[in-house]
Structure 1
Amino acid sequence: MDEQMHESKDNKFIPMTSILSGTGQKVSNDVYYYTDQIVNMCFIGLPNEGEWVLVDAGLPNAASEIRSVAVDRFGRESRPSAIILTHGHFDHVGGLIELVEEWEVPVYAHELELPYLTGEESYPEPDATVEGGLLAKISPWYPNQPINLGDAVKALPDDNSVPGLEDWKWIHTPGHSPGHVSFFRENDKTLLSGDAVITVRQDKFYNVLMQTEEVNGPPRYLTTDWNAAFESVKKLKQLQPNVLVSGHGHFMGGDDLSEGLQNLVENFDKLAIPDYGRYVDGQDNIH
């Protein structure tokens, strides 16, 4: 792998947690997610049978936990065929450098995310002025500078296929970041939404700590294009997923999910878009 790989210059441990931290949840025979502090990572593949894929890589210092889950689920010598990213924010790539160096596997992301994964460009700074709770107010402390994966990272295929996951497709769902993607499997309507749709109010400390369930839009303090975010939510709702695993919060399904997505689309301006903030002021009216 590329010797120039390195963590972001502002990489640091983030002292946040939730009641689900350190726990995992089986969603189906081959879909399992694990919560690292406040963020979810998905392990897709049948336990101890053939290839598997890791989706996202948690907060800084998450590599050891990811390795431990992989050993428990797939065996001591197992490694994924690929690591797939919903996007490159700090809480989704925290364990990535260490894992790629050890496992020597390719990483895939949307082509618009590549500058943030090859050391070329920093994300916009988190917005502490945005309407929201405590986690929004302290968001400038979160890392926003890029990691550098060098030639280990590649663009997802143009045909919307997902390397290592034959039955899945990727869907461009920008707004939270330019190249944000979600992953969908049609045969059982399983949706991995990343941060395009989440199931906890991510800017409120108590909700995050207790993992209070509610279908919501992307985290406010890091979302820079609310018009695109709304279009992405509508796109995901039209898929009519049976099961949703998001980047933050507990997985959901059934009526709670369908009603929650419908409510989010109908009331996106009230539920998701902040009344004020650096990245909402001056944008076109959503409705």
Structure 2
Amino acid sequence: MKKNKQDGIKNPMDNKPLPLFSLTSDMAYQVLPDLYCYPNQIVNICCVENSKKANDWVLVDTGMPKSADSIIKAIEERFGENSKPKAIVLTHGHFDHVGAVVDLVEEWDVPVYAHEAELPFLTGESSYPEPDGSVEGGLVAKMSPMFPNEPVDLGNHVKPLPSDGTVPHLPDWRWIHTPGHTPGHISLFRDEDRALIAGDAFVTVKQESLYKVITQHKEINGPPRYLTTDWEAARDSVQNLEALNPSVAVTGHGKPVYGKELSDGLKRLVQDFDRIAIPDYGHYVNRKR
């Protein structure tokens, strides 16, 4: 890895390795012929290939702090030595999705794209609200105050996604604004086969439970509770994704899910969002009883 920081690029998580792991960590999934999912400790990153151009691919999210070397190793096993993406696309800027982004940008010198509303959290301007350790849900939720909420600073290496919904270097895909978990959270969708990269708009593991995170017990849930600050927007985002009738989904946490299991799980989540997704109590909960 390169040792010298580029001008205007900073990572406040450099000295904050987080010893969180699951049983599927480093076990790659071939989700589709051109969609590759790599579980990095407790979070998923994706490599998405351009079906119209050989050796053209994009990395979606960048995993946990201090994980760049393991990510590069997995990518080179997949694509060959010295391979690098054409770009990095971020679903959002929480620590577990941008943990290695500074190191990877230094190594590869590639552009990073995110929603315009997420840029303050990627250019050092704004910190996210603090994780809510009081939220109802489980041991990971109780541990969440130790998670970083400070922004990375990518300087001029990060750019807003095109306003027309296109995804750079991925002509078959479009991005969809799915706020709630964060203001500028996005998901990626391909209409041709209804493949979905959902980020944390919904997940397939109960992310608040340490046991379920470790075992990766599969169940479709709302976004991680301890970092979600707008539950009304989160509900709308899940409804919008369910309406797309995705055939396969890779989420930010948990195993990929397909077919009837996905459609039934999303339908149940939409119909019973208040009970399944929204915690009974917590700093960011504001619903009528």
Residue 252 of structure 2 corresponds to 247
SS at match of 1:138: helix
In structure 1, runs of 5+ residues without a counterpart are: none
Q: Aligned to 2:266, which of 251, 257, 261? A: 261
Rounded Cα–Cα distance in structure 2 between residues aligned with 1:69 and 1:185: 24
SS at match of 2:88: strand
Rounded Cα–Cα distance in structure 1 between residues aligned with 2:126 and 2:34: 35
**Aligned residue identity for 1:193:** A
Once the two structures are superposed, residues 133-168 of structure 1 have per-residue CA deviations (whole angstroms, 9 ceiling, x without a partner) of 000001000000000000000000000000011100
In structure 2, runs of 5+ residues without a counterpart are: none
1:25 aligns with 2:29: yes
Rounded Cα–Cα distance in structure 1 between residues aligned with 2:27 and 2:288: 40
Residue 201 of structure 1 corresponds to 206
Rounded Cα–Cα distance in structure 2 between residues aligned with 1:191 and 1:39: 16
**Aligned residue identity for 1:82:** A
Residue 79 of structure 2 corresponds to 74
1:210 aligns with 2:234: no
Rounded Cα–Cα distance in structure 1 between residues aligned with 2:279 and 2:96: 22
**Aligned residue identity for 1:20:** T
Rounded Cα–Cα distance in structure 1 between residues aligned with 2:151 and 2:233: 22
1:189 aligns with 2:194: yes
Does the C-alpha gap of structure 1 residues 46 and 174 become closer, same or farther in structure 2, counting only changes over 3 Å?
Answer: closer
Once the two structures are superposed, residues 57-76 of structure 1 have per-residue CA deviations (whole angstroms, 9 ceiling, x without a partner) of 00001111111111111111
Residue 87 of structure 1 corresponds to 92
1:158 aligns with 2:168: no
**Aligned residue identity for 1:120:** E
**Aligned residue identity for 1:93:** V
Residue 238 of structure 2 corresponds to 233
Residue 126 of structure 2 corresponds to 121
1:137 aligns with 2:142: yes
Q: 1:10 Cα deviation (Å)?
A: 7.7
Rounded Cα–Cα distance in structure 2 between residues aligned with 1:75 and 1:19: 26
Q: 1:254 Cα deviation (Å)?
A: 1.1
State the TM-score, normalized to the length of structure 2: 0.95
**Aligned residue identity for 1:57:** T
SS at match of 2:102: helix
Rounded Cα–Cα distance in structure 1 between residues aligned with 2:288 and 2:242: 21
Rounded Cα–Cα distance in structure 2 between residues aligned with 1:203 and 1:284: 20
Rounded Cα–Cα distance in structure 2 between residues aligned with 1:2 and 1:231: 39
| Displaced runs of 4 or more, over 2 A | 46-49, 283-286
Quote the RMSD (CA, aligned, Å). Answer: 1.6
Q: Which moved more, 1:176-185 or 1:47-56?
A: 47-56
Contact 1:2 1:150 in 2 (8 A): no
Rounded Cα–Cα distance in structure 1 between residues aligned with 2:117 and 2:242: 23
Q: Aligned to 1:223, which of 204, 228, 234? A: 228
Q: 1:49 Cα deviation (Å)?
A: 3.6
Rounded Cα–Cα distance in structure 2 between residues aligned with 1:239 and 1:11: 41
Rounded Cα–Cα distance in structure 2 between residues aligned with 1:217 and 1:285: 19
Rounded Cα–Cα distance in structure 2 between residues aligned with 1:225 and 1:193: 17
